Amino acid sequence: MNGYENPDVGLWSGRSSGQKLYLHEKVVCSADVESDSKAYEKTIAILGYACDEGVRRNQGRIGAVEGPNAIRKQLGKMPDHLDLETKFLDVGSIQCLDGDMEAAQNHLSEKVFLLLENNIFPILLGGGHDIAYGHYKGIKQYLGKDKSVGIINFDAHFDLRNNEKGNNSGTPFYQIAQDHRSEGSSFEYLCMGIRSDANDKLLFQTAELFDVNYIENSKFVMTYAQDVVKKILDFIRKEKSIMFM
């Protein structure tokens, strides 16, 4: 696939136990996914999105392109608490070539769809937050147009910026909301940790326009844990499929 980086077993290292006590001993690096869902029962796959073009377009600090491999290096050292039956794969990373973020998002959605189609649970590593749109499109393709996807986002930012001047790392949920509008379906979005100093008034107005559920950072603390848990559970109960960001 154009713009695809094969998994690198050299990124996974740590203390050797000989008993698969650490994730680097558990992980299997495999670029190819067989078309056999039975072969992947109880399988988790790490998929990278090596792209910070959206951040650059959004006038942010670039560097997130290095994120997927940096996270892999740290994950390898972590203890393995997965049961023996659970398979743990690294299926490589989608790359952004020549600043073509939209192509990278499309490649990401295709890979997410392929993993889900084969009964594999994908965990995505970014990358800028434009990862959300490709992630969503892959899930939506898998579920079909008639199925809704509720989104729970742990973030200080709504990322609901208008995309009239182009897509970037601040527009993914606006794009998703627009897709829902064109389909005539409801946009179900819960964002937790919103900061008033990180979102201008237009973003709050957009959130109101799209009927977004959110919890501000001042209420996203242990003091209000019971209220936060209730809001999350109420949201989850409404949706059959949930996408976490």
pLDDT along the chain (245 residues), means of 10: 89 95 97 78 96 96 97 98 96 97 97 95 97 97 90 97 96 97 93 97 97 97 97 93 93
Assess contact for 169 and 57: CB atoms under 8 A: yes
In the chain, which residues fall in CATH 3.40.800.10?
1-144
| Helical (H) or strand (E) element with 8 | none
Q: What integer pLDDT is reported at residue 38 of this predicted model? A: 73
What distance lies between CA 106 and its chain's CA centroid?
A: 14
Q: What integer pLDDT is reported at residue 37 of this predicted model? A: 66
3-class DSSP state for residue 45? strand
Q: What is the pTM of this model?
A: 0.93
Assess contact for 216 and 228: CB atoms under 8 A: no
Three-point CA angle 116, 63, 157, nearest 5°: 70
- Residue range 146-245 forms a domain whose CATH class is alpha beta
Amino acid at 145: K
Q: What is the CATH number of domain 1-144?
A: 3.40.800.10
Assess contact for 69 and 146: CB atoms under 8 A: no
Assess contact for 176 and 216: CB atoms under 8 A: no
3-class DSSP state for residue 74? helix
In the chain, which residues fall in CATH 3.40.50?
146-245
60: exposed, middle or buried (C-beta count within 10 Å: 0-12, 13-18, 19+)? middle
3-class DSSP state for residue 67? helix
Nearest residue to 34 (alpha-carbon basis) of 113, 114, 89, 111 = 114
